[in-house]
Chains A and B, each alone.
Chain A
Amino acid sequence: MAAPPRHSTMLSISNAGTSQSTGTDRTQVPQSSSPAQTSGLRVPSNRKTIYDRHLNRSRNAELSRASFAYLFGEMVTYAQRRVTGIQDLEKRKDTPSASVCSTYSSTAPPPPPPPLSPAPPPPRLPPNRPLRILSLLHLIHGPLWRLLFQRAADALEHSVSAETPNEYMITDNDPLVNTYISVPREMSMLNCAAFVAGIIEGVCDGCGFEAKVSAHNQPTEMWPSRTVFLVRFGESVMEREKVLERAGVK
């Protein structure tokens, strides 16, 4: 897809690299537009930067689940030390994830075609950027969940109330992030899956759907850490949805 521009960028950087003394000097390339070139960042002479790695390289890579649990646990502890209330704590957890997880939406599904182009859709790789709410939610419920947690989410529901047509719910019976976290009794309202809510929010944002996502405990006898992610789409999204429906966009 983006191969030609990427490639030329790489070429021009490596040319620039050889014409300068390598090592500690700052690489400064005149007349350039790519972020790698305009920045004053130093890069290694063997070109191990994010611009040179294949986007899909780590797509199927795996790491130890324990490592994730340790990191996540540390993150929760850190957040806990710095806040006073539970709500604040949950907020703290989803804010950072939102910022990084907008990165996720750009790496997880392949780069989308230009948004809402009226021209016939280019016959390219099937997973395009979703335009409608439902296809977005299916993307989250299925592929995203499988990518992150190796299985699809357990349920996807639409609010039955006529007053809140903008509310959707994604249910996970046993969120991975809660597996290794034990919440003290006095904080039983806390759900560490707020982190995942942040991820969902980031993905929605990254796809151009303004939304607020929150995580709620809904334990059942069989699934004590069952969590419902409530997705509330913004006004603008709902309006656009109506327009797209009239236009017959899927």
Chain B
Amino acid sequence: MSTQKASRIGEEIWKTRIDKVNAELVTLTYGTIVAQLCQDYDSNYQEVNKQLDKMGYNIGMRLIEDFLAKSGVGRCANFRETADMIAKVGFKIFLNVAPTVTNWTSDNNQFSLIFDDNPLADFVELPDDGRAQDELWFSNILCGVLRGALEMVQMQIEAHFVSDVLRGDDTTEMRVSLVRYIEDEMPPEDD
């Protein structure tokens, strides 16, 4: 499936099949979560990143169901197709953004998602304590979501942010690498 086709599918589902809610409500809710974590962990940002990733993982495991039901897409033929599916359909229907897929490694196992727009980080400025900009990945929950969702469809991946406009970088970039396909844990009814 081509990137354009994936984009069209994403666009179509977003327009017709998604219940909507005010974007600021989502943004501010996410903001409170991160703010609360920072407070609870006493600004130990490594710990906050970890916790966000964990929350994302929990979300991802449940979100994949919803994704498959709404999109009705089948199994991807290869990891490149998976990447397009994530960027153009997944992100589109849950966050109404479509990050760019780029920087593939030659073995087609690693790519980057570049976010032009990140609704989770609207209104956000990191604390000016000299550490947050070096340690906190504000949108780290997204890494967990990808990890959880893909694990449910037999892909073990690793995802992390490598840059974030909130840190003063020019782009927001997430690096995603395929670790392995989980062959032996295929559910019996899946053919």
Contact = CB atoms under 8 A, between A and B. Distances in A.
Given A44-B165, A50-B124, A74-B55, A64 B32 contact: no
B22 interface: yes
A240 interface: no
Contacts of B125: 41, 49-50
Interface residues on B, range: 35 or more
Interface stretch (A96-104, A166-174, A206-214, A224-232): A96-104
A176 B126 CA distance: 29
A148 B25 contact: yes
Contacts of A53: 122
Interface of B: 18-33, 35-36, 39-40, 51, 55, 58-59, 62-63, 66, 93-96, 119, 122-126, 128, 130, 133, 165, 167-170
| Residues of B contacting A: mostly | helix
14 contacts: A42-B168, A61-B96, A61-B119, A62-B23, A63-B20, A63-B23, A64-B95, A66-B66, A74-B33, A74-B55, A75-B36, A96-B35, A97-B29, A108-B24
Given A61-B119, A71-B26, A176 B21 contact: yes
A19 B39 CA distance: 37
B27 to A, nearest CB: 7
Interface residues on A, range: 35 or more
A65 B19 contact: yes
Nearest to B36: A96
Given A74-B55, A96-B35, A64 B21 contact: yes
A104 B22 CA distance: 12
Given A58-B23, A58-B119, A67 B130 contact: no
A134 to B, nearest CB: 25
A131 to B, nearest CB: 25
Contact of A67 (B32, B36, B94, B165): B94
Among A49, A74, A99, A103, residue most surrounded by chain B Cβ atoms (within 10 Å): A74
